[in-house]
Amino acid sequence: MAIEQATFGAGCFWGVEADFRQIPGVKATQVGYEGGHTASPTYQDVCSHTTGHAEVVQVDYDPERVSYEQLLNVFWENHDPTQLNRQGPDVGDQYRTVIFFHTPAQEAAAIASKAALQESGKFRKPIVTQIVPAETFYKAEDYHQQYLEKRGLSTCRID
């Protein structure tokens, strides 16, 4: 069994991680920081808006059981990709919507998925999700890992 990796930033990483953990074929998730210029940032560093990092979820998955396209669908369904540097009440560049691709096939799938969603008319505003090459992933502090699960919560969404 070959495990592949996918990395998504969709606002606060707690709820997004919980959503990905529910998918059959997802073997592991980790929350962390990616896409900035500061090595080994802490949560406080990232919240200072000086690191350039986004809060992300790194997903290890079995492509025999779940496709990258299915993971993209979960990503799109669980945040507002038209909001630049925010999700709901969370504001800042660490909450940006971003797909970090690990392979050319992931890049192509992400671009096609974004275009199809934009053309669908589901959103009135343009989708601002960045699609960029994966960089160094910095694992977040242990207390952020599976944060909602540890507290008996299933979501942190504000509807």
Into how many domains does the chain fold? 1
The verdict on pTM exceeding 0.75 is yes
Tokens of 84: 């630049």
Question: Tokens 């992931």 — which residue?
Answer: 106
- pLDDT band, very low/low/confident/very high, at 89 (cuts 50, 70, 90): confident
The CATH number for 30's domain is: 3.30.1060.10
Distance CA 77, CA 104 (A): 23
Among candidate residues 12, 54, 56, 98, the one labeled active-site is 12
The CA distance from 60 to 39, in Å, is 23
Q: Which of 10, 158, 6 is nearest to 81 (CA)?
A: 10
The reply to whether 91 falls in a domain is yes
Q: What angle do CA 137, 139, 141 make, to 5 degrees?
A: 155
Examine residue 157 and state whether it is found in any structural domain, yes or no: no
Would 23 be classed as within a structural domain? Answer: yes
> Is 12 one of the annotated active-site residues of the chain?
yes
Taken in order 141, 43, 26, 63, the sign of the CA dihedral is negative
Q: What is the pLDDT of residue 103?
A: 98
156 within domain boundaries? no
6-50 residue pLDDT tens: 999 998 776 788 889 889 999 999 999 999 999 999 999 998 999
Q: Is residue 121 part of a domain?
A: yes
> Domain containing 29: what range?
4-150
158 in a domain, yes or no? no
Quote the pLDDT of residue 159.
43
Q: 159 lies in a domain?
A: no
